[in-house]
């Protein structure tokens, strides 16, 4: 990897952290993290976008307050909402895999982001239910989906749409700049 690529990956890891701090606290906070993840993947592509997400998660794992509510550390990753954070990596890997197999077209990006988001919801919800059940007792699927997924679907789709538009423009501008 070139230094410029690593710098861009680091910049987007920082952007994901900044977007996580813009939040509305709920059981699973409303943040702009998802937007930043989609934007990183759209601008940088699957490989570097995944690197950005991984760096972000590693920064949080070592204790830097990069997660929603200025949280950090393994406790945040292993807590009830940690599965959604890990789900960001699943989203990134899904986009990267689709990009490698099907190319970098806008439809491939959009569909792979939607699939990745669904995997993020699935993994995060299973994780949330397990951690919640261990701490407070069993919880039903409908309750978990009502708390952790349904309120986020429309906002996340809007974030994805915005990220698709912005990432195409930013990627084109960056390509012209480096050419």
This prediction has a pTM of 0.94
Looking at the domain assignment, is residue 13 inside a domain? Answer: yes
Looking at the domain assignment, is residue 158 inside a domain? Answer: yes
Residue 49 contacts residue 41 (beta carbons within 8 Å): yes
Looking at the domain assignment, is residue 174 inside a domain? Answer: no
Looking at the domain assignment, is residue 153 inside a domain? Answer: yes
Structure tokens at 60: 């949080």
Say what the pLDDT of residue 27 is: 67
Find the domain containing 43 and state its range. 3-168
Count the domains in the chain.
1
Three-state secondary-structure class, residue 97:
helix
CATH number of the domain within which 74 lies: 1.10.1760.20
Looking at the domain assignment, is residue 177 inside a domain? Answer: no
Helices marked H in 33-80: 33-61, 74-78
In eight-state DSSP terms, residue 62 is T
Looking at the domain assignment, is residue 178 inside a domain? Answer: no
Query: 10-residue block means of pLDDT along the chain (179 residues)?
Result: 92 97 80 96 97 98 95 96 97 98 95 98 97 95 94 96 94 79
Structure tokens at 25: 């606290």
Looking at the domain assignment, is residue 44 inside a domain? Answer: yes
Say what the pLDDT of residue 52 is: 98
Residue 55 contacts residue 10 (beta carbons within 8 Å): yes
Looking at the domain assignment, is residue 89 inside a domain? Answer: yes
């Amino acid at each position: 990897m070139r230094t410029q690529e690593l710098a861009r990956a680091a910049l987007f890891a920082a952007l994901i952290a900044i977007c996580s701090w813009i939040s509305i606290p709920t059981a699973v906070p409303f943040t702009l993290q998802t937007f930043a993840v989609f934007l990183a993947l759209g601008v940088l592509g699957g490989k570097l976008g995944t690197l950005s997400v991984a760096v972000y998660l590693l920064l949080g794992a070592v204790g830097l307050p990069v997660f929603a509510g200025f949280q950090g550390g393994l406790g945040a990753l292993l807590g009830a909402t940690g599965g959604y954070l890990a789900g960001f990596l699943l989203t990134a890997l899904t986009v990267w895999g689709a990009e490698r197999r099907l190319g970098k077209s806008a439809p491939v990006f959009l569909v792979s982001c939607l699939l990745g988001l669904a995997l993020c919801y699935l993994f995060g919800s299973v994780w949330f239910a397990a951690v919640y059940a261990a701490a407070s007792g069993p919880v039903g699927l409908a309750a978990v989906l009502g708390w952790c997924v349904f309120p986020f679907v429309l906002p996340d789709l809007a974030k994805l749409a915005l990220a698709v538009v912005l990432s195409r423009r930013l990627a084109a501008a960056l390509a012209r700049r480096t050419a």
